[in-house]
Amino acid sequence: MTTYTAKIGEIVIGKAGDQLQAVALGSCVGLVVYDPKFKVAALAHILLPEKNRFSKPGPPGKYGTEATVEAIKHVISRGGLRENLVAKIAGGAKMFESLTSGSNMDIGSRNIAAVTRALQDNGIKVLARDVGENQGRTIIFDVATSTLEIKQANGSIVKRI
Residues taking part in catalysis = 28
Judge contact between 75 and 12, C-beta under 8 A.
Answer: no
Out of 6, 13, 27, 39, name the contact with another protein by CB under 8 A. 27
Tell me the window of 30-38, 64-72, 114-122, 148-156 that interacts with another protein (CB under 8 A). 148-156
d(CA 154, CA 25): 14
The binding track of 90-129 with respect to another protein, each residue x by CB under 8 A or -, is ---xxxxxxx----xx-xx---------------------
Q: What minimum distance in Å lies between the beta carbon of 45 and another protein?
A: 9
What are the backbone angles phi and psi of residue 158, rounded to the nearest 5°? Answer: -95, -30
d(CA 86, CA 84): 7
Mask of contacts with another protein, 45-84, x by CB under 8 A? --xx--xx-xxx-x---x----------------------
| Residue 136 within binding range of another protein, rule CB under 8 A | yes
In whole angstroms, give the CA distance from residue 117 to residue 59.
20
Q: Enumerate residues 6+ apart whose C-beta is below 8 A from 145.
A: none
**Which C-beta is closer to another protein: that of 60 or that of 136?**
136
CB closer to another protein out of 43 and 75: 43
Does position 2 interact with another protein (CB under 8 A)? The reply is: no
Q: Name the residue nearer to another protein (CB basis): 84 or 135.
A: 135
Those residues with Cβ within 8 angstroms of residue 108's Cβ, 6 or more apart along the chain or in another chain: 26, 27, 29, 91, 92, 93, 94, 95, 131, 132
Indicate if the alpha-carbon torsion angle 10, 16, 18, 23 is positive or negative: positive
Interface positions with another protein (CB under 8 A): 7-9, 23-28, 47-48, 51-52, 54-56, 58, 62, 93-99, 104-105, 107-108, 134-138, 152-155
